[in-house]
């Protein structure tokens, strides 16, 4: 039963979910940075992008649990890369 979702995985959707969650986490880091800096317009802009990007992943991984694994991987990558990028600017 646990393996039942594996046969229905579309590699393109899986890559899209990973990319969408990577972008979502990167945007979330930028949103948090704007909040910490008390910059209202950038914070609001990052927030709206955050919801647009996350909707793609959520819609897809609610149809098949296996996509959650791709979402988690993308999330890790997005947070790591965005923190690396922010660290360079410090």
Phi, psi of 66 (to 5 degrees): -65, -30
Q: With bands split at pLDDT 50, 70 and 90, how would you rate the model's confidence at 85?
A: confident
Distance of CA 16 to the CA centre of its chain: 10
d(C-alpha 50, C-alpha 20), whole Å? 10
Q: What is the mean pLDDT of residues 9-17?
A: 88
CB half-sphere exposure, 84, CA atoms < 13 A: 6
pLDDT category, 83, cuts 50, 70, 90?
Answer: confident
pLDDT at 45 over 90: yes
Please give the Cα distance from 42 to 10 (Å, whole number).
35
């Amino acid at each position: 039963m646990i393996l039942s979702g594996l046969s229905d995985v579309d590699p393109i959707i899986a890559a899209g979910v990973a990319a969408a969650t990577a972008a979502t986490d990167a945007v979330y880091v930028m949103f948090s940075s704007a909040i910490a800096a008390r910059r209202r317009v950038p914070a609001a802009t990052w927030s709206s992008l955050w919801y647009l990007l996350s909707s793609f992943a959520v819609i897809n991984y609610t149809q098949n649990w296996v996509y959650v694994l791709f979402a988690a991987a993308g999330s890790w990558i997005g947070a790591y890369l965005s923190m690396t990028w922010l660290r360079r600017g410090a």
